[in-house]
């Protein structure tokens, strides 16, 4: 898995990527940072856990490459997928973050370990380790279809997934967008914004 090729995405906010990629590549707002973690970016290592079971996530922490974002489909809001020790080992192995369509426990330990976790919340009871799911197959997380190696960027603004095949295209477009925005003063933005809004209002028959 190519983790080095995703480093440049660390400097691109999810808001910029969302403008370029659209709603289909943005996870729903229920998956959020569980502590004040920094922005993370990395290729997806995909996991599917059976509801109520966390075996495959526990297997993944020993198989995912350093720099990976472990993205987990579980469909379960009753049992925790991971706890403090799992997150500490993941951090030790260089995994960038967990993005979980599910829950964790031991949040204080996770925060103390400074391991970024984006999930739907916390619950104190762990799942079982008795059911096979999948590793390295496409998964649905937060309403987004993720393939192994897709680039996941996550911070407090949300989580956006860039398809691996579009990596260079989106990176180039994002850099151009950021450069343009950096050159535009607030006065210029305000004037352009006012003109766009007034045009939209007139087009809908609105007048002061």
CA 54 to chain centre: 20
HEC string of the chain equals CCCHHHHHHHHCCHHHHHHHHCHHHECCCCCEECCCCCCEEEEEEEEECCCCECHHHHHHCCCCCCCCEEEEECCCCCCEEECHHHHHHHHHCCCCEEEEECEECCHHHHHHHCCCEEECEECCCECECCCCCEECCCEEECCEEECCCCEEEEECCEEEEECHHHHHHHHHHHHHHHHHHHHCCHHHHHHHHHHHHHHHHHHCCCCC
Q: Which residues of the chain have pLDDT under 70?
A: 1-5
pLDDT at 197: 93
Instruction: Count other C-beta atoms under 10 Å from residue 163's C-beta.
Output: 16
Each residue of 53-80: pLDDT tens digit? 999 999 999 999 999 999 999 989 999 9
pLDDT at 7: 85
Q: Enter the tokens of residue 123.
A: 């619950």
Q: Enter the tokens of residue 206.
A: 């609105």
Q: Enter the tokens of residue 177.
A: 């967008």
Nearest to 100 by CA among 140, 42, 157, 59: 140
Q: pTM of the entire structure?
A: 0.92
């Amino acid at each position: 898995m190519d983790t080095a090729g995703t480093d440049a995405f660390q400097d691109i906010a999810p808001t910029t990527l969302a403008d370029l990629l659209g709603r289909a590549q943005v996870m729903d707002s229920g998956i959020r940072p569980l502590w004040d973690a920094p922005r993370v970016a990395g290729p997806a290592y995909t996991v599917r856990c059976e509801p109520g079971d966390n075996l495959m996530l526990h297997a993944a922490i020993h198989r995912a490459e350093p720099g990976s974002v472990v993205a987990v489909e579980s469909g379960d809001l009753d049992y925790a997928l991971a706890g403090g020790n799992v997150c500490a080992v993941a951090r030790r192995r260089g995994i960038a973050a967990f993005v979980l369509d599910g829950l964790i426990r031991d949040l204080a330990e996770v925060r103390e370990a400074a391991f970024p976790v984006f999930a739907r919340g916390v619950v104190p009871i762990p799942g079982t380790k008795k059911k096979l799911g999948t590793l390295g197959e496409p998964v649905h997380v937060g309403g987004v279809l993720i393939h192994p190696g897709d680039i996941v960027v996550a911070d407090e603004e949300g989580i956006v997934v860039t398809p691996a095949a579009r990596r260079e295209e989106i990176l180039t477009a994002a850099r151009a967008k950021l450069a343009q925005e950096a050159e535009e003063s607030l006065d210029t933005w305000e004037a352009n914004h006012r003109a766009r809004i007034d045009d939209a209002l007139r087009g809908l028959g609105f007048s002061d």
